[in-house]
Amino acid sequence: FTASLLLGTTLTISSNHWIMAWAGLEINTLAILPMISKSHHPRAIEAATKYFLTQATASALLLFSSMINAWQTGQWDITQLTNPTSCLILTSAIAMKLGLVPFHFWFPEVLQGTPLTTGLLLSTLMKFPPITLLYMTSPSLNPTVLTSMAILSTALGGWMGLNQTQIRKILAFSSISHLGWMTIIISYNPKLTLLNFYLYALMTTATFLTLHSTKASKLSTLMTTWTKTPTLNAALLLTLLSLAGLPPLTGFLPKWLIIQELTKQDMA
């Protein structure tokens, strides 16, 4: 399954043809489903079902948008997306794949039903192919739609994470919020989106692996882990502050650069 995951991701990020990109996304989805439902727990099965349905819908929409574009222009090239209807359908397909507002409902639920290691894959590796597609098609997409989705995602990710006690749900809302930051800048400076994604993936990996080794899944258990592993807990505290974007930590850098770029665009 890990090999299939890597194959699907590589296929999507290196393809230039819509069908190849779609095939890569499908391989990815089918490879992660057994990983989600491995524990045979009813919640895990429910998470796998929810994940499958949303990803299948998003893939169908992606195929539909590329077909409309191919009918109109005769082009199957990813970078040659010129039809406005296709652009709109593609934006919603990628938003659904990533879990951007208003298609975010599935993500916290799915993450809550998975083991921490699979949750890490869902939060980082599985987001990479759709972000690559967004990166390649960003010049043709509608900046207004992307900006409004991004602002809603950032706000909602912050608000919804407030009243949670489950760590995985908080991390899911953190992911939605970070994706908002990535989406808002993609029309103006796509390289910043990639920088943000790399740093986000790095910090999230550190957080998930620490939680995995301390076996913490609720905030209440996190309060008692510092007695067992004080050093690891101090590192986790710094990683979480970095994820929150607190200066002078790493997580502040992409936010600073994005705000600077938006100010140049007279948007901030």
| Angle in degrees, CA 164, 165, 166, rounded to 5 | 95
| Tens-digit pLDDT string for the chain (268 aa) | 999 999 999 999 999 999 999 999 999 999 999 999 998 899 999 999 999 999 999 999 999 999 999 999 999 999 999 999 999 999 999 999 999 999 999 999 999 999 999 999 999 999 999 999 999 999 999 999 999 999 999 999 999 999 899 999 999 999 999 999 999 999 999 999 999 999 999 999 999 999 999 999 898 888 888 888 899 999 999 999 999 999 999 999 999 999 999 999 987 6
155/212 Cα distance (integer angstroms): 28
The answer to whether the beta carbons of residues 91 and 146 sit under 8 Å apart is yes
Which has the closest alpha carbon to 236: 206, 212, 213?
A: 206
- 249 Rama class: left (phi>0) / alpha (psi -120 to 50) / beta: beta
What single-letter amino acid sits at 153? Answer: S
